[in-house]
């Protein structure tokens, strides 16, 4: 049984029944399509700084601000993918934390397949049945495009997608922190007379001679 959904991130029974009717089941008796809350959709990854163990963490980073493409919130539609599209286990486990071969950067190999995001966004509200049916129909029509990629290419795209999200998330946090610091220490950058006096007083108390700092 999968443990990658944290309650209450599962869809209502009526939605589950619809997705099962439209998409059917995989060889393991699970629905081929599922709808979950991004905030409760997990995957197992190396955790710690530096990484020292494997643990469950949020799969899709949250949106930090409106229009943030690095994050996803709301209800997300995922489709089950068989294990063979991820390549062999041998190739999979070659990607690990430096010096820690037991900590695979992509987590445990998905022996029973895995669910992949079908659209790069989440629905803020529970989508209607007609919307879900249309989305599944569109995704199945675009399947031929993804079929042209090799397992190695799919793996690389999966990891690159994750890395890009992490970089954008870190950049947002860094820019936010800089903005907060500048807001709280605005006299250091301001050209006003009052800011100049403040800097001169600060320098005087520190025993420094920096000359006139005002306008």
pLDDT tens-digit profile of 43-62? Answer: 999 999 889 999 999 999 88
Please return the burial class of 2, using the count of CB atoms within 10 Å of its CB with bins 0-12, 13-18 and 19+: exposed
pLDDT tens-digit profile of 172-197? Answer: 777 766 666 565 556 555 666 666 77
pLDDT at 193: 67
In whole angstroms, what is the distance from residue 54 CA to residue 66 CA?
Answer: 32
In whole angstroms, what is the distance from residue 43 CA to residue 18 CA?
Answer: 25
Of 88, 132, 131, whose CA–CA distance to 109 is shortest?
Answer: 88
In whole angstroms, what is the distance from residue 148 CA to residue 85 CA?
Answer: 11
pLDDT at 58: 93
- Is a pLDDT exceeding 80 seen at residue 203? no
pLDDT at 127: 92
- Residue 18: pLDDT band (50, 70, 90) is very high
In whole angstroms, what is the distance from residue 36 CA to residue 78 CA?
Answer: 8
In whole angstroms, what is the distance from residue 159 CA to residue 97 CA?
Answer: 14
pLDDT tens-digit profile of 81-130? Answer: 999 989 999 999 999 999 999 999 999 999 999 999 988 889 999 999 99
15 phi and psi angles, rounded to 5 deg: -70, -40
Please return the burial class of 69, using the count of CB atoms within 10 Å of its CB with bins 0-12, 13-18 and 19+: exposed
Model confidence pTM above 0.75: no
End-to-end CA distance of the chain: 69
pLDDT at 7: 86
Strand partners, 35: 77
The pLDDT mean for the chain works out to 83
In whole angstroms, what is the distance from residue 207 CA to residue 211 CA?
Answer: 12
- Is a pLDDT exceeding 80 seen at residue 212? no
Please say whether the beta carbons of 96 and 47 come within 8 A: no
Going from N- to C-terminal start, the domains of the chain cover 13-149
Tokens of 119: 């659209």
pLDDT at 195: 66
Average pLDDT on 6-16 reads: 93
48: left (phi over 0), alpha (psi -120 to 50) or beta: left
Tokens of 49: 């700084």
Please return the burial class of 83, using the count of CB atoms within 10 Å of its CB with bins 0-12, 13-18 and 19+: middle
- Is a pLDDT exceeding 90 seen at residue 205? no
pLDDT at 187: 56
pLDDT at 13: 94
């Amino acid at each position: 049984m999968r443990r990658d959904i944290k309650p209450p991130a599962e869809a209502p029974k009526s939605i589950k029944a619809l997705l099962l009717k439209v998409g059917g089941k995989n060889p393991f008796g699970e629905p081929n399509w599922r709808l979950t809350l991004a905030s409760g959709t997990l995957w197992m990854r190396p955790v710690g700084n530096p990484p020292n163990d494997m643990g469950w963490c949020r799969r899709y980073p949250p949106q930090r601000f409106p229009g943030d493409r690095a994050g996803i919130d709301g209800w997300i539609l995922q489709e089950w993918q068989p294990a063979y599209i991820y390549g062999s286990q041998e190739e999979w486990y070659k990607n690990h934390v430096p010096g820690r071969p037991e900590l695979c950067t992509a987590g445990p190999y998905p022996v029973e397949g895995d669910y992949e995001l079908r659209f790069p966004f989440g629905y803020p509200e529970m989508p209607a049945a007609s919307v879900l049916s249309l989305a599944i129909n569109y995704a199945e029509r675009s399947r031929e495009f993804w079929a042209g990629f090799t397992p190695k290419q799919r793996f690389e795209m999966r990891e690159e997608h994750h890395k890009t999200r992490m970089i954008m998330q870190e950049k947002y946090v860094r820019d936010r922190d800089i903005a907060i610091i500048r807001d709280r220490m605005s006299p250091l950058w301001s050209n006003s007379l009052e800011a100049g006096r403040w800097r001169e007083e600060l320098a005087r108390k520190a025993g420094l001679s920096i000359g006139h700092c005002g306008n």
